[in-house]
Amino acid sequence: QKVSLEVLDHLEHLALVDFRDSEGVERLQKAIQFADQLHEVNTDGVEPMDSVLEDRWCLYLREDDVTEGNCTKELLENAREKVEEYFVAPPGNIPLPKLEEREAFLQGS
């Protein structure tokens, strides 16, 4: 079963991944086929497992104390742009080109 252009476009919007060319799309389809093998197992009436550790994986509860923070300088060191200790980002979300607008979209996918 081939992945339709609409689904491909939708996936690219969701994950900000660029499948780029037919080889990328082919790899995607193989990955889907691989994962589809899971459907061969009948899981009716079986509770999904969260971890192989089962009950032995206990959620650790932390006391409500302030132990971190106050490292503005360090955090901003990685920022390409900053304005008075704020991170700088583009205005809102930049929309990806619509399906119809894309040039030279994957031919024969």
Q: Which of 36, 75, 97, 102 binds other proteins (CB under 8 A)?
A: 75
Quick check: 104 binds other proteins (CB under 8 A)?
no
CA-based nearest residue to 28, from 40, 18, 13: 18
Helix (H) or strand (E) holding 83: strand 82-83
Q: Which of 38, 41, 88, 104 binds other proteins (CB under 8 A)?
A: 88
CB of 16 to other proteins, least distance (A): 7
CA–centroid distance for 101 within its chain: 24
Quick check: 86 binds other proteins (CB under 8 A)?
yes
Quick check: 101 binds other proteins (CB under 8 A)?
no
How many angstroms separate the CA atoms of 77 and 71, rounded? 10
Q: Which of 23, 40, 68, 77 binds other proteins (CB under 8 A)?
A: 68
Q: Which of the residues 29 through 58 are near other proteins (CB under 8 A)?
A: 50-51, 53, 57-58
How many angstroms separate the CA atoms of 33 and 102, rounded? 27
How many angstroms separate the CA atoms of 74 and 72, rounded? 6
* Binding span for other proteins by CB under 8 A among 24-32, 33-41, 72-80, 99-107: 72-80
